[in-house]
Amino acid sequence: MGSSPLVLSDPGFNSLGQVDAEMAHSTIGRQVQIRYGEAALNREIATMVAQSPELGFRDVQVNLDRDRAVVTGDVMVLGLNIGAEVQGVVVIEDCLPRVELQSVSVGGWLTPGFVKDQVAETVLGALDWYPPDSALCLERIVLEDGAVTVYGHRR
Query: Where in the chain are the domains?
Result: 6-154
Q: What is the pLDDT of residue 112?
A: 60
Q: What's the CA gap between 83 and 93, in Å, rounded?
A: 30
Sequence-distant (≥ 6) Cβ neighbours of residue 105 within 8 angstroms: 84, 85, 111
Q: Over the stretch 2-44, which tens digit does the pLDDT of each residue have? A: 579 999 999 988 887 788 788 888 999 999 999 999 999 999 9
What are φ and ψ of residue 114, in 5° steps?
-65, -30
CB atoms within 10 A of CB 28: 11
What does the pLDDT look like over 107-151, one tens digit per residue? Answer: 777 666 676 677 778 777 776 778 888 889 999 999 999 999 999
Between vectors from CA 97 to CA 46 and to CA 112, what angle results, nearest 5°?
A: 75
Q: Tell me the pLDDT band of 153, cut-offs 50, 70 and 90.
A: very high
Q: Read off the amino acid at residue 127.
A: L
> What's residue 20's pLDDT?
79
Segments in the chain forming alpha helices (H) = 16-24, 38-51, 113-127
Instruction: State the DSSP code for 16.
Output: H
Measured in residues, the chain has a length of 155
The 3-state DSSP class for residue 113 equals: helix
